[in-house]
């Protein structure tokens, strides 16, 4: 019973490099999210997907793109990484009136 699985757990990028963060859930949830969390701060929503084939911008979408590949998978792409994108990234899935379940996070450093 894996829940929400994120990869990679750690990543160091040079400014201008690109990468994709992968997320998969096995709970058959419709909704999936990508958040970023800066040190000592709360969660900020980057993108949201209410169902397969739909995505919506959150609070801080600039510099990111997402893809809801199927019901299980929701990926986050950084096309040209910037130092301001250094953060911890969390993927989550949720179902109405149940609550959200989070992955273990990806610690990204952009130098």
Partner 1 sequence: TQLLEQSPQFLSIQEGENLTVYCNSSSVFSSLQWYRQEPGEGPVLLVTVVTGGEVKKLKRLTFQFGDARKDSSLHITAAQPGDTGLYLCAGARGNEKLTFGTGTRLTIIP
Q: Kindly list the residues in this chain that would bind partner 1 in the complex (CB under 8 A).
A: 31, 33, 35, 40-43, 45, 48, 50, 56, 58, 90, 92, 94, 96-105
Q: How far is the CB of 90 from partner 1 (least distance, A)?
A: 5
Q: Please identify, using beta-carbon distances, which residue of 45 and 69 lies nearer to partner 1.
A: 45
Q: How far is the CB of 100 from partner 1 (least distance, A)?
A: 6
Q: Please identify, using beta-carbon distances, which residue of 18 and 51 lies nearer to partner 1.
A: 51
Q: Please identify, using beta-carbon distances, which residue of 19 and 43 lies nearer to partner 1.
A: 43
Q: Provide the token pair at 6.
A: 């994120």
**CB-based contact 76:89 (threshold 8 Å):** yes
CA distances from 48 to 11, 52, 81, 95 (A): 23, 11, 20, 13
Q: Provide the token pair at 60.
A: 């801080």
Q: Please identify, using beta-carbon distances, which residue of 44 and 72 lies nearer to partner 1.
A: 44
C-alpha span between 78 and 66 (Å, rounded): 9
């Amino acid at each position: 019973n894996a829940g929400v699985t994120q990869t990679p757990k750690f990543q160091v990028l040079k400014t201008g490099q690109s990468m994709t963060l992968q997320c998969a859930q096995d709970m058959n949830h419709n909704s999936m999210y990508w958040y970023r969390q800066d040190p000592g701060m709360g969660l900020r929503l980057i993108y949201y997907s209410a169902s397969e084939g739909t995505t919506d911008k959150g609070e801080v979408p600039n510099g990111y793109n997402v893809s809801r590949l199927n019901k299980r998978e929701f990926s986050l792409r950084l096309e040209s990484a910037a130092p301001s994108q250094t953060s911890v990234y969390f993927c989550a899935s949720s179902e109405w009136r149940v609550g959200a379940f989070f992955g273990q996070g990806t610690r990204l450093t952009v130098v």
